[in-house]
Amino acid sequence: MTSIHLHLLSDSTGETLEMLAKAALAQFENADVVRHFWPMVRSRQHLDRIVPEFKANPGLVLFTLVNPETRARLEESCAQLGLPAVPILDRVTAALEKALGQEAHGRPGRQHAMDQAYFERVEAIQFTIAHDDGIGSEDWEEADILLAGVSRSSKTPTSIYLANRGYKVANIPLVVESPPPPALYRLKHPLVVGLTTAPERLVQIRRNRLLSLNEGHQTAYIDNERVKDEVAFARRMFADNGWAVIDVTRRSIEETAAAVIRLLGDRGRHKGGDFEGVKPI
């Protein structure tokens, strides 16, 4: 197994850098990566305190630094240590400068500025948390998206991920013995999406959940036939109401969320609007 040290330096929160590094690392199997995260590096003095860590743990350095002096200092230090230093946004920024015909602003953390989009995202997160697991049905019409599905079909984590993209999301568990509130069938604004999964996979997830809670296994919650009935019940409800359906069996949360966003974009275009289903990050 290959082992490396990966140093991530950013002059802001480092969120963008972390996401890009994670996406790239996903392409490699059996790689033992030790990450060293260095956010808010905005001065030579701060950088000089970090450089000894490079020497102690030599590896690959990825950075997003816009201050020329700090950047030059980093590149000089890495060259002296014989370490590769990769400015991961340079090629993208250069291409955008050429396409837009203007020079990029060298302002640290510019992509995280507290503009209107930022406050909309905070509002979306607050709404989503307050409308988890079927709560607050009287406000569902305000949601952008409503996710429906049986227990442990990844409704909550998908909702939170979408909320971080700026979407107001509500979700509701579908239970055979407990019909959903009538408000669910009257919704006009939200896109209702049904999440489904293979019964066998669902049993496994639920069993692991019970193990984590130190609860017994003699329950209908993980009975194979009962779970099949639950999934079939949910699928019939999706079909009867014409709701879009996403099978999450082999999807990550990110993949499920991306599929929901595409559905939302398709819906906007179908209605003749210019909404493309992507909100700013």
Which residue ranges make up the annotated binding site? Answer: 149-156
- Taking the C-alpha atoms of residue 132 and residue 229, their distance in angstroms, rounded to an integer, is 24
Contact 243, 148 (CB under 8 A): yes
Q: Are strands 60-64 and 145-149 parallel, antiparallel or unpaired?
A: unpaired
- What residue type is 170 in one-letter code? A
Contact 14, 39 (CB under 8 A): yes
Question: What 3-state class would DSSP assign to 29?
Answer: coil
Burial status of residue 88 (CB atoms within 10 A of its CB: 0-12, 13-18, 19 or more): middle
| Phi/psi of residue 242, nearest 5 degrees | 70, 30
Which residue ranges make up the annotated binding site for ADP? Answer: 149-156
Category of 228 on φ-ψ map: left (φ > 0), alpha (ψ -120 to 50) or beta = alpha
